[in-house]
Amino acid sequence: MEFGTEQKLSVQIKGLPGHQEVEVKYVDFGNTAKITIKDVRKIKDEFLNAPEKAIKCKLAYIEPYKRTMQWSKEAKEKFEEKAQDKFMTCSVIKILEDNVLLVELFDSLGAPEMTTTSINDQLVKEGLASYEIGYILKDNSQKHIEVWDPSPEEIISNEVHNLNPVSAKSLPNENFQSLYNKELPVHICNVISPEKIYVQWLLTENLLNSLEEKMIAAYENSKWEPVKWENDMHCAVKIQDKNQWRRGQIIRMVTDTLVEVLLYDVGVELVVNVDCLRKLEENLKTMGRLSLECSLVDIRPAGGSDKWTATACDCLSLYLTGAVATIILQVDSEENNTTWPLPVKIFCRDEKGERVDVSKYLIKKGLALRERRINNLDNSHSLSEKSLEVPLEQEDSVVTNCIKTNFDPDKKTADIISEQKVSEFQEKILEPRTTRGYKPPAIPNMNVFEATVSCVGDDGTIFVVPKLSEFELIKMTNEIQSNLKCLGLLEPYFWKKGEACAVRGSDTLWYRGKVMEVVGGAVRVQYLDHGFTEKIPQCHLYPILLYPDIPQFCIPCQLHNTTPVGNVWQPDAIEVLQQLLSKRQVDIHIMELPKNPWEKLSIHLYFDGMSLSYFMAYYKYCTSEHTEEMLKEKPRSDHDKKYEEEQWEIRFEELLSAETDTPLLPPYLSSSLPSPGELYAVQVKHVVSPNEVYICLDSIETSNQSNQHSDTDDSGVSGESESESLDEALQRVNKKVEALPPLTDFRTEMPCLAEYDDGLWYRAKIVAIKEFNPLSILVQFVDYGSTAKLTLNRLCQIPSHLMRYPARAIKVLLAGFKPPLRDLGETRIPYCPKWSMEALWAMIDCLQGKQLYAVSMAPAPEQIVTLYDDEQHPVHMPLVEMGLADKDE
C-alpha cells in the first residue's frame, strides 16, 4: 500500500523483541501493520492540523453468530468481501463512547431503481451473525414497496461530473435548482466570514487528488517565463510550503512581483510571488471548480454594524474549518435564478454528537441577529423586499456584539447576562459608528485637591486624575474588560480625526479612546482617561462609544503664568517633567478655569511641598512670575519645612558637587581609511545588514598586540606612556573601575565607559535614552560598532586619557551588490526590511574566520569599500550565487 504525504501514523510500541519493530495504525485508513523502526519518521507539525480521516464504526443491530464472544473467521472474510474498498451508504444510528459510530451499511452502487441491500441483514441471512436481543425485524414486504429518493451522494456525483469548464464567471451561473432544499454532505475547506464560506462536495476528494496529479505532471519541471498577468486571468499556482500545484484566478496585482490569487478548488486566497505562477493549460480548464462559495442565510451582524466582527469570523472559522457538515441550499419561491454566494443553512455535530444549526449558534452567542425571510402569501401581490429584519427575541439577547466563547450551544455561560444587566450596559455603551462624543473632564469643585499625574504630553501638557475619581476609573475599566471581549476591527475602516473608539493597549486591556491622527496604516490615538497618545495598528481599535455619560477622568493642565524658553517646552524640559511627575501624587491649586471645557486648566502644581514652576524656572527651563509668592502659597507644618530643607539639600548641593559632575568631553577621534584604490587588511567587527558593516584596520590590531612595554617609570609609579596601547590602557582601567565616578550627564554622543556582557568595560558613547522607569541608556561601543541597552550601574565616566585614542570601528557600506528584486525569504531584518534574515546569516558566514582585505571606493563622509577574501575574491559573490543579492555595477 502506498501512502501520500498528508498521511499520519499513530505509532504504538508493543515491546517486540529488541524493539526492532513497531506496530502502527494508519489513522487515515484504520488498518494496522508491523514495520521496522528505520521506516518510521517523526511527523511534521503541519500534518497534525488535519483531522484523522478514518472513523471507527460498529455494525448496528447484530452480534456474533449464536452470541459468541468473537466474530468467526468466515464472518470477517465475508464482510471484507462485501464492504472492503467499496462505496457504501452509511446510516448512523448512534454515537457510542470514544466517538465510535453505530451504523447500518447499504450497498447503494446499483441503479437508482434498484433496491438497496443492508449488509447488516445479509450477514444474518447467511448465518454469520445474529440480531441483538430485543431487535424488531423490519417488514420486508413494506421494504420492497418503498420508493427511495436518490441518495445525496448520487446527486452530488452527478452534479460534479456535469460541472461546466472553468471560466471567470462560471460558478455563479451554474444551475443548482435540483439541489435546493436537499441535505448535502460537504467538507468545509475555508471560512473567512459568515458571508464567505468555501465548501467542497464530499465525493470530490478523488477528483481533487486526480487533478493534483495532473497539475504535478504538467508543472513539476516547468520553468518560469515572464507573463503580463491581469485581473481574472487563470493560472497554475505553486504552494511552496506544501510543494503542491493548484488552479487559481488572479484577484489583483499587489505589486510588480506580488499577486493576490484565489485557489478556487480549495477556496483559499493568498498573495504569492509571480515566480510561483504558470499559464493554466486548456486541458486543465475542462473540469469545473471543486469548491463553492456559500453564505449563511437569515442572520446579520450584531451591534448595529454592517460588517462582521473579527470575533464572529474567528469563532466560526475555529469551529467549521476542516469539518464535515451538511448544507441545505435556500431559495425563495419567487426566484428562479441562483444568487451568489450560494445562500445556505449549515448543520454540524457538536462534541455531544447533537445536530446544531450554525446560524442559530451565532445568534445565541450574540455574534449575529436574526433576519427572517418572508415568502409571499398571496400570489396576486408581490413584495419587492425579499426579507424583513425581525428583532431578536428577548431571551436571545446578549451584552454586546463581540462576546468570545467556546462552541457549546447548550452551555449557559456567564457572558449571557440577565435582562436587567443587559439593559443597563446598553444604556452605557452605544452602537458602533455613532457620531456622538465623550463629555469633557469634570473639574473638582474645590480650589485645592490631590491628584495623580497620569502622563506628561509631548507639548508639556500635564494630565492629572483627581484622587477622588480614581476608584470610579478603576471600576469603569474593570466593567469594560468584563463586557467587551472582541479582537479589534480586522476589516478596513475609514477612521476620522476626533472619532471615539475603544483602544486595546499593550497590556491587552480595553480603554476609552479618541482618534487624533490617521498615519498610513496606523492611527494615532489618545487614551481618553489617561491622557497619553500612541500610534497603533488599526486592528487594535474598535469603533464604539463606551460610557458616553461618564466625563473624561484625566484633566489636561498647564502651569499658571509660566512661559517656557522659546515659548514651547523643549525636549530636554519635557524629559525632566516626565521623569519628575509620572505616576506621582501631587497637590493641584486651581488658578484659572478654562473658557472652553476641553481646554487646559491653569494651575500651580506642588510635589513634596516644592513648586513645579519654581523648580523649572530655577533650572532655566522657563520663566515664571511671582515665584516668591508661589513658595508661600502652600502652608507647611514644621515637619514639612524640615523635610523640604532636607530635599532641597539633596537636589542642589549634592547634584552640583565635583564628585558627581561629569566633565564635558570632546567627541572621539575618527580613524581614517587609506586612499581609494589601495588594498589593505581589515577585520569586520559588527554586521548591521549584508551591505553595512563596521570594520577595523588590521594594522591597528597588530600594533596593539605587539606593543608590549612597562607602564611604570623608574620610580615605580604607574604612568600613562605615550606609546601605551588602547588595550593596555583599558586593562589598567578595568582593574580599578570601582573607583571611577558614575555617569550623570546623558546627552547624545556623550563619551563613557560601558560594561559588556563579558564583564569587562569598554569605550562607548550614548546614543539615546530608551526607558525612564527604570532608566535605560542605549550606547554604542565605539571600537566595535555594536550597541546595547544598559542600566545606570553599567555606565561610568571615562578617564580623559582614553579619549586620545581614535575610535577603531569605522562604519562602511559594501559595494558590488544590492538587495534582490525578487527575494523569496519571508523573514526580514526588522530594522532593514529590504534584506532577508537569510541574507544576513549568509553574509556573516562569508565574513567569519577569514582574512579580509578592503579597497576604498569613495572617501568620507559616506565610506564605501569593496571587501575581498584572502584569494582576492569579492566576499559578496556567494550571496549573488544563492539569489540573496543582485550584482550592482
> Vertex 129, ends 128 and 134: CA angle to 5°?
160
pLDDT in tens, 693-741: 999 987 655 555 444 443 433 333 344 445 678 889 999 999 888 888 8
Of 256 and 866, more confident: 866
- Whole-number pLDDT of residue 266: 85
DSSP H stretches of helix in 687-779:
698-706, 726-735
What's the rounded Cα separation, in Å, for the pair 802 and 256?
53
Dihedral angle over CA of 770, 775, 781, 785, nearest 10: -10
**CA-closest candidate to residue 731, choices 762, 758, 685:** 762
pLDDT in tens, 137-194: 765 434 444 445 454 445 455 544 444 455 433 343 345 666 777 778 888 888 988 9
3-state secondary structure of 558: strand
571-597 average pLDDT score: 89
Phi-psi region of 508 (alpha: psi -120 to 50; beta: other; left: phi over 0): left
pLDDT in tens, 467-523: 988 989 999 988 888 877 776 776 677 788 888 888 988 888 899 999 988 877 788
Give residue 833's pLDDT band: very low, low, confident or very high (50, 70, 90): confident
pLDDT in tens, 18-77: 457 888 888 888 888 888 888 888 887 778 877 888 888 989 888 888 777 788 888 888
Phi, psi of 67 (to 5 degrees): 55, 40
- Whole-number pLDDT of residue 223: 86
Q: Please give the mean pLDDT across all residues of the chain.
A: 76
CA 538 to chain CA centroid, Å, is 13
DSSP H or E stretch at residue 362: helix 358-364
Which residues fall within 8 angstroms of residue 691, CB to CB, at 6 or more apart? 813, 814, 817, 818, 835, 876
What's the rounded Cα separation, in Å, for the pair 808 and 700?
8
DSSP H stretches of helix in 528-660:
571-581, 612-618, 627-633, 638-649
pLDDT in tens, 771-813: 776 778 899 999 999 999 888 889 999 998 898 899 999 999 9
pLDDT-above-90 percentage for the chain: 13
- Whole-number pLDDT of residue 331: 67
- Whole-number pLDDT of residue 861: 66
- Is the pLDDT assigned to residue 361 strictly greater than 70? yes
Dihedral angle over CA of 863, 868, 874, 875, nearest 10: -90
3-state helix, strand, coil in the chain (%, to 5): 25, 30, 45
561-568 average pLDDT score: 88
Beta strands in 361-469 (DSSP E): 368-370, 448-456, 462-466
Strands 292-296 and 342-349, sheet pairing: parallel
> Vertex 599, ends 594 and 602: CA angle to 5°?
50
- Is the pLDDT assigned to residue 416 strictly greater than 70? no
Phi, psi of 18 (to 5 degrees): 70, 0
The CA distances from residue 147 to 112, 139, 182, 710, in Å, are 10, 15, 17, 111
Give residue 677's pLDDT band: very low, low, confident or very high (50, 70, 90): confident
Strands 101-107 and 32-36, sheet pairing: unpaired
Contact indicator for 821, 794 with CB cutoff of 8 Å: no
- Whole-number pLDDT of residue 589: 93
- Is the pLDDT assigned to residue 466 strictly greater than 90? yes
- Is the pLDDT assigned to residue 825 strictly greater than 70? no
- Whole-number pLDDT of residue 418: 38
pTM above 0.95, yes or no: no
251-264 average pLDDT score: 87
Sign of CA dihedral 106, 110, 111, 113: negative
What's the rounded Cα separation, in Å, for the pair 853 and 874?
9
The CA distances from residue 276 to 327, 460, 624, in Å, are 34, 53, 68
pLDDT in tens, 614-666: 888 888 888 887 554 455 444 444 444 444 444 444 444 444 444 456 677 78
pLDDT in tens, 752-769: 999 998 889 999 999 988
DSSP secondary-structure letter at 807?
A: B
Contact indicator for 199, 282 with CB cutoff of 8 Å: no
User: Please, what's the b/e burial string for 74-107 (b: 16 or more CB within 10 A of its CB; e: otherwise)?
Assistant: ebeebbeebeeeeebbeeeeeeeeeeebebbbbb
Sign of CA dihedral 842, 848, 850, 852: positive
DSSP H stretches of helix in 778-869:
837-847
pLDDT in tens, 367-393: 888 876 544 333 333 333 333 233 333
- Whole-number pLDDT of residue 419: 40
Give residue 675's pLDDT band: very low, low, confident or very high (50, 70, 90): confident
- Whole-number pLDDT of residue 171: 40
- Whole-number pLDDT of residue 465: 94
DSSP secondary-structure letter at 652?
A: I
Give residue 207's pLDDT band: very low, low, confident or very high (50, 70, 90): confident
